[in-house]
Amino acid sequence: MIRRRKPLRKTGIRRRPKTARQKLIDEADAVWREKALRRDSYQCRRCGSTWAVLAVHHVVTRAKHSVRWVLANGLTLCTGCHFWVHNHLLASRAVGFYASLGADLEAMEMQSQQSWKHQDIKLIIIGLKMGVS
């Protein structure tokens, strides 16, 4: 006798719809990423690869909202180099390819310590599109 499989059950887990604020954050992230990729000529800043999947690495973590969308906080890396940077944070800073961003790393980290007063994300998006970071 052939036994029939039961149909898969729904788990009941549903995603909440995104809030308007989260949609704005996603848009700001997308605009920031595109600006960083364009600035770096769509190539990895560490190895120069153009054919690999590219990611934009936040030098100062993106959880620090005061510098999350600052263009100097982004570094275009291929998947392999991005993995290397996350596993060798001290070595990546010693190598000095962050210096090519033209930003003072210590100043950016000091700025990231400041509290973020929920700036208007629409203004941040407009600033990114106009080239002001």
Flag whether 30 is in a domain. yes
* Cα–Cα dist 12/15, whole Å: 10
Flag whether 43 is in a domain. yes
**For position 20, what pLDDT does the model report?**
85
Flag whether 99 is in a domain. yes
Of 117, 120, 118, 99, the C-alpha closest to 108 is 99
Of the two residues 23 and 122, the one the predictor is more confident about is 23
**For position 31, what pLDDT does the model report?**
94
CB 29 within 8 A of CB 93: no
Of 77, 41, 47, 44, the C-alpha closest to 59 is 77
Flag whether 67 is in a domain. yes
**For position 55, what pLDDT does the model report?**
92
Average pLDDT value for residue range 35-43: 92
**Domains identified in the chain, total number:** 1
Flag whether 12 is in a domain. no
Q: Name the helix (H) or strand (E) containing 58.
A: strand 54-58
**What are the tens digits of pLDDT across the range 60-98?**
888 877 788 888 888 899 999 899 888 887 777 776 666
**For position 35, what pLDDT does the model report?**
93
Of 83, 84, 62, 73, the C-alpha closest to 107 is 73
Flag whether 78 is in a domain. yes
Q: Is the pLDDT of residue 115 over 90?
A: no
Which band of pLDDT confidence, cut at 50, 70 and 90, is reported for residue 117? low
Flag whether 47 is in a domain. yes
